[in-house]
Structure 1
Amino acid sequence: MIMNVLEVAVFAMVTLGPNQQPFTCEVSIGGVRCSHGIAAFREGEHDILMSDGVKVAKSPKGELLFSNGIQAHMDSLGWVQFSNGAAVRREGTEQFRFSTGMVCRYTAIGKVACTRR
């Protein structure tokens, strides 16, 4: 099963904190690789292991569980708020917007770009 490269880009944005520079991610052999050095690999059916050691698991209810203690909750305006200060919301099926002004979106099949808007 191919990993969702857009989800990996979002998880990289969350784990690395809100002060990100633009980057790209693309599907590669065995996982996803991003231009800022983070790679991600599937671990089991629902878990993703990031190259920085952070494991992101999706519970059966769709909750995100980060092994480094970052917690997430949905606010009343549709933003997912993370305990490290990051906030993101889905805009359509192919784009996520961060409260910092960064937007991650598909640019081609298997490729995502995260840029300031």
Structure 2
Amino acid sequence: MKSSSLGWRLIRRVVLIHVVLAALMTAVVLTGLAISGIVVDEASAEQIVAIEKAIHVDANGRLALRETRAVAAMKATRDFWFVLRDADGRELRHGVLPAEYPALEARIGEL
């Protein structure tokens, strides 16, 4: 069969249609997951490091957060939240935990 034959042209078109449809379906699924909150980038590595550097144990033996510039910038955003628990069971919270995460809260030590 020649590459310019009708059969090869039809095969190329069918393959191209499948590739385009697969790409569109992938985009639709990923968009749906992002909108639903299943695929979410809650905190960048920079934010985690900034929080980690700002955490300390206060005079009462509780976890506390120093008000650094990075922490103040994060607190200025409406949706900034975190829940921390150290090896000794002390906990520090900030913000409102989104409704999607209560089940994970009990397992935070495992995470």
TM (normalized to structure 2)? 0.24
Q: Which has the higher helix share?
A: 2
Q: Which has the higher strand share?
A: 1
TM (normalized to structure 1)? 0.24
> Max radius of gyration: which structure?
2
Higher relative contact order (CA 8 A, sep 6+): 1
